[in-house]
Structure 1
Amino acid sequence: MLIHPADAPTRTVAALRDALSTPSQEVVESLARVDGDLMLLGVAGKLGPELALMARRALDRAGRQARVIGVARNPGPELVERLRDGGVELLRADLLDDAALAGLPDVANIVYLAGRKFGTDGAEHQTWALNTYLPGRVAERFRDSRIVAFSTGNVYPLVPVVSGGADEATPPGPVGEYAQSCLGRERVFEHFSHRYGIRMAIVRLNYAVELRYGVLLEIARAVYRGEPVDLRMGNANVIWQGDVNAATLRLFEHCAAPPLVLNLAGPETASVRWIAQRFGELFGVPATFTGAEETTALLSNAARANELFGYPGVPLRTLIEWTAEWVLAGGETHGKDTHFQEREGRF
């Protein structure tokens, strides 16, 4: 097994967070060219904290005094302290409250992270309110800002594994109400972009991973525990969350009206069977399986993002090795599964 240096993100949570929030020189140079403050709506989720801290670090390196503001409804005390120690201003607001939304400061650049996936089944009305109604309220409120809005590769249909994945020209075909509400989010943002000329970028993410959460962690833990790996969704795209953060901050230079739509995904059509077998080699145990690979999967073609930003900085084999080291060390997790195997859209 490859043993990484003492400052590798596999060593401690602090090192992991540092890796996820360290800006590349390209990010620094990009934010140096973008005027105005930056605000992240929904900063308390899995992506938000390190994305906000990367923005702050990049602006500091660029010599810019612009504010970085995170907005969350009910952030925990640890997150409050960590963001404030990192120079990120934190505001508490329920974005579905019109008065609270109106009371947010005017800023030039918005990252829209708010949304709901897990728990949709049985509470569909809440998912539609957050994923589809709220974007319209945000677009009305920040019609003079640039907006980078997160969506998901789930807006695509399952595509043949041999296709190379759905690209941005592939007609949407969302399966289930979560995915349908996310397409609704895109369409609502698109409407207001046309109406007001709002410059936007819509990010179809598929799938961000880090060492505490994601497709690779789920496969690794199953192999380590001797549990069979589900092959129903036999292929996937995975991309390091740090690379997602970097691309997100560089997208403000590419916002357009109507919106730029961009797949942000791992470049490989990665075999779940191969990933599991690689973890088996690293753990010294055999990988076992249940089910069989279908001929279709939820796959995104990242060629356009790779053209804009280059290939992700952390390759797949390194991600697998980092994840294996994290599991062997008993590293903490977020305690949530991605349900990437889901083929019927029930979340």
Structure 2
Amino acid sequence: MLLTRDTLPDTIPDIAALDDLLCRPSQALIDDLAGLDGDIMILGVAGKMGPTLAGLAKAAQPDRRVIGVARFSDPEAKAWLEARGIETISCDLLDEEAIKALPKSPNIIFMAGRKFGAEGDLSLTWAMNAHVPALIAQAFPESRIVAFSTGCVYPFVPVTGKGADESVQPDPPGEYAQSCVGRERMFEYFSRKFDTPGRLFRLNYAIDMRYGVLHDIAMKIMQDKPIDVSLGHVNFIWQGDAAAQALRCLAHCDTPTTPINVSGHEILAVRDLAAKIGARLGRSPIITGTEQPTAWLTDVSLATSLFGLPIVDVDQMIAWTTDWVARSMPSLGKPTKYEVRDGRY
């Protein structure tokens, strides 16, 4: 079944159903990938978003070789991928010789990086977020490379505007986001040097039933914990839509590589989201803080012009999330930390 607005379920009963939904392709994704030649290799596939992105690629192109590369410290991720026909390669991307031994795939999605706990070992954060991209860019000069980045590379912008578009120069607080600028600069430098086509995929924030801004808010409401609205406005996108746009970027690469913002097209007030979620859960959210006039927000006009609006809208995400949390379904235990203003994660 193709993913369309008309085929979305009313509820997501369990993780298997969630995975199935996240791996369901749209016709637009199938068409874009059909126009590409060669294998698709996903580097850093074992993170939050990687497995279902790989599964989505395979579902969209069942006869194409899809390769997932990671250290696979969690063997369940490896088994999950292989059960869906995705080839797996165990590799430490800090090992230059191991990178050189990887297949020379013409299509690469780069998802490796470090965020959570970034302040705990900043040298490792910089190594993963800037050094590894340089190694990859040099090892695959003839590939299309869509490199995951973050909207956090931007400075704060007024909440009354449309958000930062791709013309706004990166100027973020905190070493995590600064290291992400380093990632982008490495891909940009080697893209110019080798004429490597690519895209810098500035994503914020992806939503899955097990994590995301809505999950964070819902969990705080259920646990009677305060919700800080100091960073009071956000935009976000369903993980399946984000994964589809990342894969579709392979058919929309620039030489040299250029950034593209990926998120929801609406700027949403955290206070309003808490009220809507609280009403569905039958609980009153505890609000603390005062909304500041600026936030990390992105203008996704470019992505919308290429891909159209996301299939899953905000109301659907709220309904799914509140239903999931109300049933005490699994959580990844990885808060987005969307409320952080100083860049320290």
TM-score range normalised by the length of the shorter chain: over 0.9
Q: How many residues align?
A: 340
Aligned to 1:279: 277
Show CA shifts across 1:263-302 (max 9, x none). 0011111000000000111011212201111011111111
Q: Judge conservation of contact 2:38–2:64 (CA < 8 Å) in 1.
A: yes
Aligned to 1:22: 24
Distance in 1 between residues matched to 2:143 and 2:281, nearest whole Å: 49
Moved more, 310-319 or 69-78: 69-78
* 1:183-198 alignment, distance < 5 Å: 183-198=181-196
Distance in 2 between residues matched to 1:226 and 1:10, nearest whole Å: 25
Matched, 1:199 2:200: no
* Structure 2 stretches lacking a partner, 5+ long: 1-5
Measured after TM superposition, the shift of residue 236 of structure 1 is 0.3
Q: Judge conservation of contact 2:11–2:323 (CA < 8 Å) in 1.
A: no
Q: Identify which of 223, 226, 233 aligns with 1:225.
A: 223
Show CA shifts across 1:88-127 (max 9, x none). 0010000111111111111110000000011121311001
Show CA shifts across 1:15-34 (max 9, x none). 10111111101111111110
Q: Which amino acid aligns with 2:232?
A: G
TM-score normalised by structure 2 residue count: 0.96
Aligned to 1:263: 261
Distance in 1 between residues matched to 2:76 and 2:195, nearest whole Å: 39
Measured after TM superposition, the shift of residue 171 of structure 1 is 1.6
Aligned to 2:138: 140
Q: Identify which of 101, 104, 112 aligns with 2:102.
A: 104
CA 1:219/1:36 → structure 2, altered by over 3 Å: closer, same or farther?
same
Q: Judge conservation of contact 1:267–1:301 (CA < 8 Å) in 2.
A: yes
Q: Judge conservation of contact 2:25–2:59 (CA < 8 Å) in 1.
A: yes
Q: Identify which of 57, 82, 85 aligns with 1:84.
A: 82
Distance in 2 between residues matched to 1:310 and 1:236, nearest whole Å: 20
Q: Which amino acid aligns with 2:178?
A: Q
Matched, 1:45 2:47: yes
Aligned to 1:251: 249
Distance in 1 between residues matched to 2:148 and 2:228, nearest whole Å: 28
Measured after TM superposition, the shift of residue 8 of structure 1 is 4.9
Distance in 2 between residues matched to 1:223 and 1:250, nearest whole Å: 36
Q: Give the fraction of aligned pairs with identical amino acids, expressed as a percent.
A: 46
Distance in 1 between residues matched to 2:73 and 2:105, nearest whole Å: 21
Q: Judge conservation of contact 2:72–2:78 (CA < 8 Å) in 1.
A: no
Q: Judge conservation of contact 1:277–1:286 (CA < 8 Å) in 2.
A: yes
Q: Which amino acid aligns with 1:79?
A: A
Moved more, 283-292 or 316-325: 283-292
Aligned to 1:336: 334
Matched, 1:304 2:289: no
Distance in 2 between residues matched to 1:94 and 1:340, nearest whole Å: 29
Aligned to 1:55: 57
Distance in 2 between residues matched to 1:240 and 1:120, nearest whole Å: 25
Measured after TM superposition, the shift of residue 66 of structure 1 is 2.4
Distance in 1 between residues matched to 2:298 and 2:11, nearest whole Å: 27
Distance in 2 between residues matched to 1:29 and 1:89, nearest whole Å: 23
RMSD: 1.4
- Residue 181 of structure 2: SS of its match in structure 1? helix
Q: Judge conservation of contact 2:40–2:66 (CA < 8 Å) in 1.
A: yes
- Residue 118 of structure 2: SS of its match in structure 1? coil
Measured after TM superposition, the shift of residue 75 of structure 1 is 3.9
Distance in 1 between residues matched to 2:15 and 2:140, nearest whole Å: 35
- Residue 297 of structure 2: SS of its match in structure 1? coil
Measured after TM superposition, the shift of residue 224 of structure 1 is 2.0
Q: Which amino acid aligns with 1:284?
A: G
Aligned to 2:38: 36
Distance in 2 between residues matched to 1:6 and 1:227, nearest whole Å: 31
Q: Judge conservation of contact 1:10–1:323 (CA < 8 Å) in 2.
A: no
Distance in 2 between residues matched to 1:143 and 1:159, nearest whole Å: 35
Q: Which amino acid aligns with 2:87?
A: E
- Residue 166 of structure 1: SS of its match in structure 2? coil
Measured after TM superposition, the shift of residue 87 of structure 1 is 0.5
Measured after TM superposition, the shift of residue 254 of structure 1 is 0.8
Distance in 2 between residues matched to 1:48 and 1:109, nearest whole Å: 15
Distance in 2 between residues matched to 1:126 and 1:74, nearest whole Å: 18
- Residue 162 of structure 1: SS of its match in structure 2? coil
Q: Which amino acid aligns with 2:209?
A: L
Distance in 1 between residues matched to 2:154 and 2:7, nearest whole Å: 39
Show CA shifts across 1:208-242 (max 9, x none). 11100011100011112222211111000110000
* Structure 1 stretches lacking a partner, 5+ long: none
Measured after TM superposition, the shift of residue 7 of structure 1 is 5.2
